[in-house]
Structure 1
Amino acid sequence: MDNHIAIVEDDPNIQNIVSAFLKKEGYQVSILGSAEEGLALWKTNPPDMWILDIMLPGMDGYEFCKKIRNQSEVPIIIISAKDEEIDKILGLELGGDDYLTKPFSPRELVARVKRLFKRTTKNKASKISYNHIVKTGSLVLNTKERRLFWQAEEQDVTTKEFDMLLILAENVNRAFSREELLMKVWGTDYFGSDRAVDDLVKRIRKKIADLPLETVWGYGYRLRNEE
């Protein structure tokens, strides 16, 4: 195993503990004390995954996450002492793939790292079979470039927002249960609540107000054909 993981964290104790557990599993580890150091590493030796603290000196983790996500789909796990739901939602909305609240078990972090690597590797393989363009009504998804257009205007969407809309657009008018969407977007090894699906739909509707994304009451969601 030679995946390179970068830890952006200013607490030396957390740096040392997390680094030790990851190295024990065979990962290459880089430790950065600030987002600015992380950006410098991104230019010279970009990692295969980021483990990112939110409260950092200088640029905070949210801004750093946004900068990285604008350039790459590299996996990002956010760790933070902030336990408010709004902080978790903001972190995931800006492109984080997972969110872990301090204090946490290093073993749990390692388990999430393994699951996320497994899921992203599987997703990369499955995307090869997607058509280059998926279109339904005014919604167009470019699966090669991971770009989404609504009524001919490009929309700024996160990785999971794109993945959910791609699933729905490829199966227009079909109702998906929350459990199905959770499995398809987050992966079969995700152990969180299906509330994550509702939160994701709310964010999509806020960004694309006229999108015919319907609630199937007591079941889940579907994308209705506009015609």
Structure 2
Amino acid sequence: MNEYIGVVEDDRNIQNIVSAYLKKEGYHVTVVESAEEAWEQWREDPPSMWVLDIMLPGMDGYEFCKKIREESDVPIIIISAKDEEIDKILGLELGGDDYLTKPFSPRELVARVKRLFKRAQPALQQNGDSHDKVVAGQLLIYRNERRLFWNGKEQDITTKEFDMLLLLADNVNRAFSREELLTRIWGEDYFGSDRAVDDLVKRIRKKIADLPLETVWGYGYRLRRDEG
């Protein structure tokens, strides 16, 4: 196992406990005490998952989560003493993948870390190599390698951007509701609003400006491909 986890927490006791349990499971762990330090870490040696406290000195966890989400879909588990529903909703809508309220069981944190890593891993395909390549007009996707090309040029995209485009390319011209996209891409246990879908679509359109990713007003989205 070589997954690398960044822990952003200013409480030394929680730092030590979380770090010890994660290292015992074989993860490589770096601990920082502020969001500013975490941002430097992201630039220099980005972790493959964040365990992020909300109440931090300086920049808070919400702002850090928002900044990360502007660049990446790296999994983020929020840990916080704030246990109001509105706090959880805010954390998840800003891009958190999971939310744990303090005090929490370190074993539960480890279980959630494992689940998120498993979800983020490329799904093993059972259909064989003949089903590896997906073509939808100028969009070419190699699902097993998780590589995507538009007009012959490989695109630098995040995990969720890839997952959405693969789903739409597998079902060209089919309209998906926002709720279905949430379930298919974020998972049935995702706790947040469908604004996450709109934000993801905005990022995809920004990267691939002429992609025929259409809004179905009042419903959701589809990838259009004209026949002929």
TM, length-normalised to structure 1: 0.70
Q: Count matched residues.
A: 196
Q: 1:128 aligns with which of 125, 141, 157?
A: 125
1:140-219 equivalences under 5 Å are: 140-219=140-219
CA spacing shift, 1:57–1:4, aligned 2, 3 Å? closer
Residue pair 1:119, 1:187 contacting (<8 A) in 2 also? no
The AA in structure 2 aligned to 1:55 is E
Q: Residues of 1 paired with 2:198 and 2:217: CA distance?
A: 12
SS in 2 for 1:181: helix
CA spacing shift, 1:122–1:115, aligned 2, 3 Å? same
- 1:83 paired with 2:62, answer yes
1:30-109 equivalences under 5 Å are: 30-33=28-31, 54-56=35-37, 59-65=40-46, 76-79=49-52, 81-84=60-63, 87-92=64-69, 93-98=71-76, 100=78, 105=102, 107=104
Residue pair 1:173, 1:225 contacting (<8 A) in 2 also? yes
Identify unmatched segments of 5+ residues in structure 2. 54-59, 82-100
**CA root-mean-square deviation:** 3.4
SS in 1 for 2:61: coil
Q: CA deviation at 1:6?
A: 3.8
CA spacing shift, 1:83–1:144, aligned 2, 3 Å? same
Deviations 1:68-103, CA, capped at 9 Å, x for gaps:
5xxxxx5x135252323xx43431332312352755
CA spacing shift, 1:116–1:58, aligned 2, 3 Å? closer
SS in 2 for 1:200: helix
Q: Residues of 2 paired with 1:120 and 1:4: CA distance?
A: 8
Q: CA deviation at 1:218?
A: 1.1
CA spacing shift, 1:160–1:57, aligned 2, 3 Å? closer
Identify unmatched segments of 5+ residues in structure 1. 35-51, 69-73
Identity of aligned residues (%): 46
SS in 1 for 2:40: coil
SS in 2 for 1:60: helix
TM, length-normalised to structure 2: 0.69
The AA in structure 2 aligned to 1:121 is K
Q: Residues of 2 paired with 1:152 and 1:188: CA distance?
A: 34
SS in 1 for 2:18: helix
The AA in structure 2 aligned to 1:128 is Q
CA spacing shift, 1:151–1:115, aligned 2, 3 Å? same
Q: 2:115 aligns with which of 90, 115, 118?
A: 118
Q: Residues of 1 paired with 2:134 and 2:76: CA distance?
A: 27
